[in-house]
Amino acid sequence: MSWIDISQPLNHQIAGWPGDTRFAYKVEYSKKDTGSVNIGKITMSLHTGTHIDAPYHFDESGARVDELDVNLYIGPCQVIDVSEFQEITADLLSHFTINKSSRLLLKTALPNDPTIFPDVFPLLTIKAIDYLKDQGIKLLGVDTPSVDLPDSKQLPIHHHLHQSGIHILENVMLDHVEPGDYELSALPLAISDADGSPVRAVIRPLKGDSL
Ligand SMILES: Nc1ccccc1C(=O)C[C@H](N)C(=O)O
Ligand SMILES: [Zn+2]
Ligand SMILES: [Zn+2]
């Protein structure tokens, strides 16, 4: 089975977080300059497009990107469709059979348009996070720019996920993905001390017995 890209393309059209560093790419040294090669340069917030949050993003003493276990970001995952709901509650999640893959991707009601920063998007309740913890989830992926409200200063959902041992992957694209069991690869870059990292997130269907 082939891999399916669930990453937002990094280009000049991508919607960044309001007020944060926009994505830019240019050929800083051209083949004409160097006589041999084109050398590109990017400028971006580490929270642009499909990315992971290191706990240090919201907690001064939290782990940095290079301290995170790479095994979190590769392995079995489940995609569930919660797109009928504006709030993701424990009750709603309890109607799905969550498998033991420890990685969960939520396909929410927010349509995938990397060029638009949405005003509102679905959020998890605190009890929903407790439920995911009880189900053994270690990595939660969402198709929204954040797991908290855009103007939140307290970031209750980030903190509660962290306290529950659940790591965060944001801005995946799932509109073209059917719910089901997959294998995920969404490795952060090896950036020392960083608060987050862009990832290339891909999934491929798992056969029934390979969990
Ligand atoms: N760039 C920002 C600037 C200010 C406040 C938040 C951000 C975020 O990127 C939030 C992020 N996406 C998050 O939820 O982890
Ligand atoms: Zn982030
Ligand atoms: Zn976040």
Domains of the chain, by residue range, sit at 4-205
Q: Give the Cα separation of 56 and 211 in Å (integer).
A: 31
List all residues whose CB is within 6 A of at least one atom of ligand 1: 17, 20, 45, 47, 53, 57, 145-146, 148, 170
Q: Looking at the predicted structure, is the pLDDT value of residue 209 above 60?
A: no
Q: Is 53 annotated as a binding-site member?
A: yes
pLDDT band, residue 26 (cuts 50/70/90): very high
Alpha helices in 21-78 (DSSP H): 31-34
Query: How far are the Cα atoms of 48, 87, 177, 199 from residue 53, in angstroms, in the given order?
Result: 11, 22, 23, 11
Residue 129 near residue 28 (C-beta atoms within 8 A): no
Which has the closest alpha carbon to 102: 72, 131, 129?
Answer: 72
Q: Looking at the predicted structure, is the pLDDT value of residue 148 above 70?
A: yes
Q: Which atom of ligand 1 is nearest to the CA of 171?
A: 12
- Residue 147 CA to ligand 3 center (angstroms) comes to 6
Q: Which residue in the list 57, 160, 162, 167 is annotated as catalytic?
A: 57
In the block, residue with structure tokens 């798992």:
206
Q: Which atom of ligand 1 is nearest to the CA of 148?
A: 14
Cα three-residue angle 167-173-177, rounded to 5 degrees = 105
- Residue 156 CA to ligand 2 center (angstroms) comes to 14
Q: Which CATH architecture has domain 4-205?
A: 3-Layer(bba) Sandwich (3.50)
Q: Looking at the predicted structure, is the pLDDT value of residue 47 above 90?
A: yes
Q: What is the mean pLDDT of residues 137-151?
A: 97
User: b or e along 44-77 (b: 16 or more beta carbons within 10 Å of the residue's beta carbon)?
Assistant: bbbbbbbbbbbbbbbeeebebbeebeeebbeebb
At 158, list the tokens. 């980030």
- Residue 159 CA to ligand 3 center (angstroms) comes to 10
Query: In degrees to the nearest 10, what's the CA dihedral of 103, 168, 201, 14?
Result: 150
Pocket probe mutation, ligand 1, options 14, 20, 46, 47, max atoms within 8 Å of Cβ: 47
Residues 6+ apart with CB under 8 A from 151: none
Q: Is 12 annotated as a binding-site member?
A: no
Q: What is the pLDDT of residue 23?
A: 98
pLDDT band, residue 210 (cuts 50/70/90): low
Q: Give the Cα separation of 49 and 13 in Å (integer).
A: 11
Q: Is 3 annotated as a binding-site member?
A: no
Q: Give the Cα separation of 141 and 106 in Å (integer).
A: 6
Q: What is the pLDDT of residue 211?
A: 57
Q: Give the Cα separation of 147 and 141 in Å (integer).
A: 9
Q: Give the Cα separation of 141 and 136 in Å (integer).
A: 14
